[in-house]
Amino acid sequence: MRELLIKTQVGNSDRALRPVLLAALCSMMCFFTAVIMLPQRFVVMGIDAAHIGYFLSFVSLVAVLAAAIMPDVSQRFGSYPTLVMAFICYLLAHLEFAAAPNMVLFIPGGILLGMGFGLSIPLVNHLTVEISQPQERGRQLARLSMAIFSGQFLAAFMANLPGGFVSAFAAAALLAAVNVFAMGKVGRSVTV
């Protein structure tokens, strides 16, 4: 009887974690598409390596600050609405990157990109621990790691889309938009 109960709980946990794993995969695809494409775009604009490094460091700093406020945001609005906010940030960041003509106009996109990362990745880690049954937590965290690293891997293919920078940023924006809808739909049906 105990084994049947554990199997039932594992099945429920697997099903409940599907949107979390999707969010992790897509968040990393959105983030790393920018990390891969921005240096290439900046080189074409004549920006030197030091300034590219400063910009990416700035994005990381924003991500740390967003991660620091994520627990308060999640507690106030809910986990899935917070993921919706993260993907809205990614969407706006990539639209900004696709259209910005100079470095100054990339700064708001960098802020939004860092916020998207900081609001999503720590949250999917927390949700994985929260939703998982204690006896399966290690396996579920391994699945989360696979989703995160798969997102990084798949982001590399965005650089090969025909149309160059604009296509890659537009594809990442589209991916973020799909996730805004998906996380919003899950959020209406689940309370976590």
pLDDT in tens, 7-33: 434 456 788 899 999 999 999 999 999
Rounded CA separation 30/35 (Å): 9
- Look up the pTM and report it: 0.89
Q: How confident is the model at residue 185 (pLDDT cuts 50, 70, 90)?
A: confident
pLDDT at 5: 35
- Those residues whose C-beta lies under 8 Å from the C-beta of residue 24, and which sit 6 or more positions away, are 120, 121, 124, 144, 147, 148, 151
Q: Does the CA dihedral 88-37-95-42 come out positive or negative?
A: positive
pLDDT digits (tens, 9 = 90+) for 88-121: 999 999 999 999 888 888 999 999 999 999 999 9
- Given pLDDT bands bounded at 50, 70 and 90, which one contains residue 83? very high
